[in-house]
Amino acid sequence: MQFQNTLEYARELDSQDKIASYRDQFIFPQHEGKNVIYFTGNSLGLQPKSAKKYVDEIMTDWANLAVEGHFYAEKPWWDYHERFSEKLAKVVGAKPAEVTVMNTLTVNLHLLMVSFYRPEGKRYKIICEEKAFPSDQYMISSQVRFHEYDPKDAIVEIRRRDGENNFRTEDIIAKINEVGEECALVLIGGVNYYTGQVLEMEKITKAGHEVGAFVGWDLAHAAGNIELKLSEWKVDFAAWCSYKYMNSGPGNASGCFINEKYHNQKDIPRFEGWWGHNKERRFLMEPEFQPENGADAWQISNAPVLALAPYLASLEMFDEVGMPALIEKRNKIVAYLEFVLHEIDKEVESSFEIITPSNQEERGTQLSVFLHGEGRELFNYLMENGVITDWREPNVIRLAPAPFYCSFEDMYQFGQILKNGILKKTKEDRVSKRD
């Protein structure tokens, strides 16, 4: 496609966008009376307008029905979480019984490791990626120590080659084969939070299984962003947060996938609570735990319905639009952003290095850009001019134009603001050198 870096052309792309109307379903922070250009859907998605209504519904039911709301609310609270399974299953490519929504991401990964990190004899090592998201590093290290192993020995990191920004599948598979029968678990981020690289989850899962290990995925940056086929890929387990691309609200609940082959395994270790108990018998208050069918057996406490309400509001939009339409727009808007960056690069002295893979199959919504010759002032300039993005050391901005609510015009306008920020600094530098 021959893109153009003009306002007219960006508007033309917006007019062809089949899901453009969804932009109006979200609330944008304002900057000088206009919507901000929002690039941090990979951190906290915007608020869907319907979220408040879903929360108010529960507040009203609570006011009018109090405890009776558990059974007689508009959407009864006792099985509120079940409204997620079917819709969430479509987002992650699973069967409805394989997904559930509970707790928060790191908590869920810990709980899933109770079931899927079971070191024994010489099989005790965990393979993860180098520089994994810090919470994953702490989680994995504390699990290993909990089982009385030394993290230096029990955690094996997959590394990027010198001078390369991304992982190579062949290196990941080679590492899995090298650790071989010592490998108890492979646990990696499906989309790398720093670079936006999408890993080849199917191949890696197969390689892990071939050496007899369990394979789990942290899908924080994948859910609602890329196509997932967790059942087909035979993934053992996965978890994701919902506040990024899934727009559920700050710190909100996590989704979990547990492959159906584990659902009726009687001896699978699991931390249990009453919400995982057979729902027909839950209120009989029996002493012995009888697991629910499916991933719901991993539930522990009763569902935090007030928190789940905005998540449900957003999930219903995902269901309406569908991942294929989101992915189609995502590919186009990210390609346009990439084009705009290259065009601006030609007009300024500093240079941008996009460290996210250029191949569409290996990336989702995020482009991570190394700003050579620029510093944090440029990031500050963007923020002061209505562009919300984020900055990661040493010199990287992450740009994630969520297809639900970002427009092609946003990409064009961003390019202009970025150019002006760089030119302003170049001019100031020249003046200060002259002075």
Ligand X SMILES: Cc1ncc(COP(=O)(O)O)c(C=O)c1O
Which residues form the interface with ligand X (CB under 6 A)?
A: 104-106, 133, 135-136, 189, 193, 218, 220-221, 241
Q: Which tokens go with 133?
A: 């998201």
Asked if 244 and 404 touch (Cβ cutoff 8 Å), the reply is no
Q: How far is the CB of 107 from ligand X (least distance, A)?
A: 7
Q: How far is the CB of 45 from ligand X (least distance, A)?
A: 12
How far apart are the C-alpha atoms of 432 and 1, rounded to whole Å? 43
Closer of 211 and 399 to ligand X (Cβ): 399
Number of C-alpha atoms within 13 angstroms, CB side, residue 45? 32
Closer of 306 and 321 to ligand X (Cβ): 306
Q: How far is the CB of 232 from ligand X (least distance, A)?
A: 23
Closer of 128 and 326 to ligand X (Cβ): 128
How far apart are the C-alpha atoms of 171 and 178, rounded to whole Å? 10
Residue nearest to ligand X (CB): 106
Helix (H, G, I), strand (E, B) or coil at 220: coil
Q: How far is the CB of 399 from ligand X (least distance, A)?
A: 16
Closer of 136 and 338 to ligand X (Cβ): 136
Query: Which run of H or of E encompasses 140?
Result: helix 134-146
Q: Closest by alpha carbon to 432, among 353, 372, 377? A: 377
Q: Closest by alpha carbon to 240, among 230, 180, 231? A: 230
Asked if 154 and 126 touch (Cβ cutoff 8 Å), the reply is yes
How far apart are the C-alpha atoms of 199 and 221, rounded to whole Å? 11
User: Residue 421 carries which DSSP code?
Assistant: H
Helix (H, G, I), strand (E, B) or coil at 398: strand
Site of tokens 């065009």: 343
Q: How far is the CB of 38 from ligand X (least distance, A)?
A: 17
Closer of 140 and 258 to ligand X (Cβ): 140
Asked if 353 and 382 touch (Cβ cutoff 8 Å), the reply is no
Helix (H, G, I), strand (E, B) or coil at 240: strand
Q: How far is the CB of 152 from ligand X (least distance, A)?
A: 22
Q: How far is the CB of 103 from ligand X (least distance, A)?
A: 9
Q: How far is the CB of 202 from ligand X (least distance, A)?
A: 20
How far apart are the C-alpha atoms of 219 and 217, rounded to whole Å? 6
Closer of 31 and 131 to ligand X (Cβ): 131
SS3 for 141-201 is HHHHHHCCCCHHHHEEEECCCCCCCCCCHHHHHHHHHHHHHHEEEEEEECECCCCCEECCH
Closer of 138 and 289 to ligand X (Cβ): 138
Closer of 253 and 348 to ligand X (Cβ): 253
Closer of 4 and 43 to ligand X (Cβ): 43
Site of tokens 């290290």: 141
Closer of 81 and 398 to ligand X (Cβ): 398
Q: How far is the CB of 135 from ligand X (least distance, A)?
A: 4
The DSSP bridge pattern shows strands 254-258 and 99-102 to be: antiparallel
Q: How far is the CB of 335 from ligand X (least distance, A)?
A: 24
Q: Closest by alpha carbon to 185, among 164, 218, 165, 155? A: 155
